[in-house]
């Protein structure tokens, strides 16, 4: 049986404390980050709980009915083979490996195997263009690219960036072939399945320090070019806060709806479930189908669900009563959930939808934790192990109920879930100030200590001297049954005043026209305070989004600014003043 190291024991002790915590107050009071010097989560933790463990670590299924269950012991042995294979083809400690893969059994084997072999992991979206791939190889200093066969063409077209690589690894089905055109100074694609020829035992020949870089994430880039976020080997320790927020226990089957290219997949599909020693479920599909997902949740007896706002919107039109679910707990993160969606989720399932907040740069740092009262419009309270305050621009704490920036203390103790740094020195100066990490997000904290998200610092604007939170206005408009998605930005009216404008994507049974615009303006006037109601709306077929499906507000702003500059209006743009008579504007303000 594998021996637990001195440093790993500290992790095990904190894990047990969190798993057995009776209340938020108890966990928050007793949670202390351990001092860990040498730690490799895959070797020092996972292998310890996995050896001889026949419990399912992973259940994989796809839309075609294929499925595979892998036990903890099997996952340990496979990842050992992967580590031996990677070491044999030249991967050295510190080499950065980019994975461009769909959700699969292989990606779990690789996460563990790369950790064991000493590599650093860069998850990449499968939607990347060849130019995006090249950018990430160069800025990420990538040495190996591992990709599913269907994405090879975009890697192959990455140009001169490929000269930097030590290896290319092809993940494919048995009937596919790894095609390799011989090109000078560019490595050939190696078949990933070769790992099966290697020993199921793995011995490291180096020390993994907890400060060594383990994960590097490119952010989604909603307001600027994607940034490269670096996390060290103690990052999985930081995800004990995520495990606690999810309320995972060893007997859970947890399903996180997310794509492997993003930090959220590592959070909730990989690290947190295995921190709890429970079963992770993952479902592969080419296009999200709510009915198929719900059927899978019933079939595989999912007890714990983590799904973003966009999924809950699609679930809203489905009949949950025809399914026999095993659900016990549900959470949402990634985008703030408006109260209407929370009420809908509770009505459909009978379970409270708990919110959480974190970033690519952190683990779960605010959340509605197990047993805590859910508060409409709030993302919850500060996570155990974090000291979070709402600060003004001078880094002074603001009064309760007053807006400020969400900031996390990094002195005297820096949370283990917080990033090491960005690759950009100037950006590091901007976010680490006076013993604080500045999140770039605006919120307020109420008298009970609940945090209420307002928006990105760059998105919040003033109109007629009133502070406008786009999220707040969007949350009110989304309650209209015709609205599928909404994005609010500042624009300029005919008097050169800054006023809100709402971009709207309608549900498929509705059409953009004058009557629809009038209906929505009537709804806005009935439900939204005068100072923050949009003075114009524009219907769109779809929003410009990042490859992680977040609305690109900067693109909406740029598009609107171009319209104003040219003195034009959008094809389906309507102004409140267009309906002066119908809305009786002269009599109402």
pLDDT (average), residues 411-436: 94
Of the candidates 240, 329, 231, the one whose C-alpha atom is nearest the C-alpha of residue 30 is: 240
pLDDT band at 429 (very low <50, low <70, confident <90, very high): very high
Averaged over 8-35, what is the pLDDT?
Answer: 97
Q: Give the pLDDT confidence score for residue 588 in this predicted structure.
A: 42
So what's the pLDDT on residue 551? 66
- Give the mean model confidence (pLDDT) for residues 6-11: 98
Q: 182 to each of 186, 188, 240, 416, 475, how far by Cα in Å?
A: 8, 7, 46, 44, 54
Contact 215, 99 (CB under 8 A): no
Peptide bond into 412 cis (omega under 30): yes
Angle at 247 between CA 246 and CA 253, to 5 degrees: 80
CA atoms within 13 Å, Cβ hemisphere of 134: 13
- Taking a C-beta distance cutoff of 8 angstroms, is the pair 190, 80 a contact? no
pLDDT in tens, 185-202: 889 999 999 999 999 999
Q: In the predicted model, what is the mean pLDDT of residues 506-513? A: 91
**Lowest mean pLDDT across 21-35, 52-66, 168-182, 461-475:** 461-475
Least confident of 70-74, 134-138, 545-549: 545-549
Of 566, 465, 571, 585, the C-alpha closest to 524 is 585
Return the beta strands (E) in 401-519 as ranges.
404-409, 421-422, 432-433, 436-445, 451-456, 461-463, 466-468, 483-492, 498-506
Mean pLDDT of the region 3-20 = 97
**Across residues 352-362, what is the average pLDDT?**
94
**Residues near 376 by beta carbon (within 8 Å), at least 6 away in sequence:** 339, 342
* H/E element, 274: helix 272-276
Neighbours of 58 (CB within 10 A): 22
Question: Which residue would you say has higher pLDDT here, 26 or 532?
Answer: 26
pLDDT at 337 over 80: yes
Phi, psi of 433 (to 5 degrees): -140, 135
- The mean predicted confidence, pLDDT, of the chain is 91
For 395-419, write each residue's pLDDT tens digit: 999 999 999 999 999 999 999 999 9
Instruction: Walk me through the domains of the chain, giving residue ranges and CATH numbers.
Output: 6-445 (3.40.50.12780), 461-583 (3.30.300.30)
Look at 16-25, 58-67, 230-239, 463-472 and tell me which has the smallest mean pLDDT.
463-472
Least confident of 83-87, 353-357, 554-558: 554-558
In this structure, the number of other CB atoms found within 10 A of the CB of residue 523 comes to 17
As a whole-number percent, the residues of the chain with pLDDT over 90 amount to 70
337 vs 56 pLDDT, higher one: 56
Number of residues that make up the chain: 589
Task: Label residue 314 by pLDDT band (50, 70, 90).
Answer: confident
**Per-residue model confidence (pLDDT) at position 463:** 76
- What are 27-36's contacts with CB under 8 Å, separation 24+? 27/244, 27/369, 27/384, 28/382, 28/384, 31/384, 31/385, 32/385, 33/237, 33/385, 33/413, 33/415, 33/416, 34/7, 34/10, 34/237, 35/10, 36/7, 36/10, 36/11, 36/210, 36/234, 36/237
Q: Are 345 and 315 within 8 A, CB to CB?
A: yes
Could you give the CA distance from residue 106 to residue 113 in angstroms, rounded to a whole number?
10
What is the predicted pLDDT for the residue at 456? 78
Q: Is pLDDT at 136 greater than 60 in this prediction?
A: yes
Average pLDDT over residues 462-478: 79
Query: pLDDT tens, 235-254?
Result: 999 999 999 999 999 999 99
Least confident segment among 12-26, 217-231, 287-301, 557-571: 217-231
Mean pLDDT, residues 456-474: 76
At 163 the pLDDT is 94
Which sign does the torsion angle of CA 335, 338, 340, 346 carry?
Answer: positive
The average pLDDT across 466-470 equals 77
What's the rounded mean pLDDT across residues 341-346?
90
Q: Does 589 score more than 50 pLDDT? A: no
pLDDT for 223 beyond 70: no
Cα separation, 202 vs 199, whole angstroms: 7
Identify the residue with better confidence: 495 or 295: 295
């Amino acid at each position: 049986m594998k021996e637990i190291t001195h440093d790993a024991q500290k992790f095990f002790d904190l894990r047990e404390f969190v798993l057995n915590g009776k209340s938020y107050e108890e966990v928050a009071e007793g949670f202390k980050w351990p001092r860990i010097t040498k730690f490799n989560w895959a070797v020092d933790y996972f292998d310890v709980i996995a050896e001889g463990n026949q419990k399912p670590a992973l259940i994989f299924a796809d839309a075609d009915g294929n499925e595979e269950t892998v036990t903890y012991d099997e996952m340990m042995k496979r990842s050992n083979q992967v580590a031996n294979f990677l070491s044999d083809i030249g991967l050295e400690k510190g080499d950065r490996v980019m994975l461009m893969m769909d959700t699969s059994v292989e990606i779990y084997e690789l996460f563990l195997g790369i950790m064991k072999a000493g590599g650093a992991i860069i998850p990449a979206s499968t939607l990347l263009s060849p130019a995006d791939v090249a950018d990430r190889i160069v800025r990420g200093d990538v040495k190996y690219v591992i990709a599913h066969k269907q994405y090879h063409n975009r890697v192959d077209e990455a140009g001169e960036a490929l000269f930097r690589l030590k290896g290319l690894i092809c993940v494919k089905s048995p009937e596919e072939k790894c095609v390799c055109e011989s090109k000078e100074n560019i490595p050939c694609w190696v078949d990933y399945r070769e790992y099966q020829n290697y020993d199921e035992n793995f011995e490291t020949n180096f020390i993994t320090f907890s400060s060594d870089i383990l994960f590097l994430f490119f952010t989604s880039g909603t307001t600027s070019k994607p940034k490269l976020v670096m996390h060290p080997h103690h990052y999985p320790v930081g995800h004990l806060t995520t495990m606690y927020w999810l309320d995972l226990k060893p007997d859970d089957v947890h399903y996180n709806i997310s794509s492997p290219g993003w930090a959220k997949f590592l959070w909730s599909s990989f690290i947190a479930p295995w921190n709890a020693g429970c079963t992770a479920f993952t479902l592969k599909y080419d296009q999200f189908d709510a009915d198929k997902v719900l059927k899978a949740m019933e079939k595989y007896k999912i007890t714990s669900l983590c799904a973003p706002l966009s999924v809950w919107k699609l679930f809203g039109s489905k009949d949950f009563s025809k399914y026999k679910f095993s659900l016990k707990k549900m959470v949402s993160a990634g985008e703030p959930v408006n109260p209407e969606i929370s009420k809908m989720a509770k009505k459909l399932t009978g379970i409270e939808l708990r919110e959480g907040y974190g970033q690519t740069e952190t683990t779960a740092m605010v959340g509605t934790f197990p047993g805590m009262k859910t508060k409409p419009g709030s993302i919850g309270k500060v996570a155990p192990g974090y000291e979070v305050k709402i600060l003004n621009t001078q880094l002074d704490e603001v009064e309760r109920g007053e807006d400020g920036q969400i900031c996390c203390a990094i002195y005297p103790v820096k949370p283990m879930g917080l990033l090491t740094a960005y690759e950009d020195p100037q950006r590091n100066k901007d976010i680490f100030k006076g013993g604080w990490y500045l999140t770039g997000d605006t919120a307020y904290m109420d008298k009970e200590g609940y945090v209420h998200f307002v928006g990105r610092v760059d998105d919040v604007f003033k109109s007629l001297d009133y502070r406008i939170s786009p999220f707040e206005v969007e949350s009110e408009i989304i309650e209209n049954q015709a609205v599928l998605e909404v994005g609010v930005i500042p624009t300029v009216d005919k008097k050169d005043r800054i006023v809100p404008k709402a971009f709207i994507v309608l549900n498929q049974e509705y059409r953009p026209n004058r009557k629809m615009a009038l209906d929505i303006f009537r709804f806005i006037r009935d439900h939204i305070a005068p100072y923050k109601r949009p003075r114009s709306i524009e219907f769109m077929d779809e929003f410009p989004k990042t490859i992680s499906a977040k609305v690109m507000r900067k693109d909406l702003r740029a598009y609107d600014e171009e319209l104003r500059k040219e003195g034009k209006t959008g094809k389906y743009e309507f102004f409140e003043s267009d309906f002066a008579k119908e809305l009786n504007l002269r009599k109402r303000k």
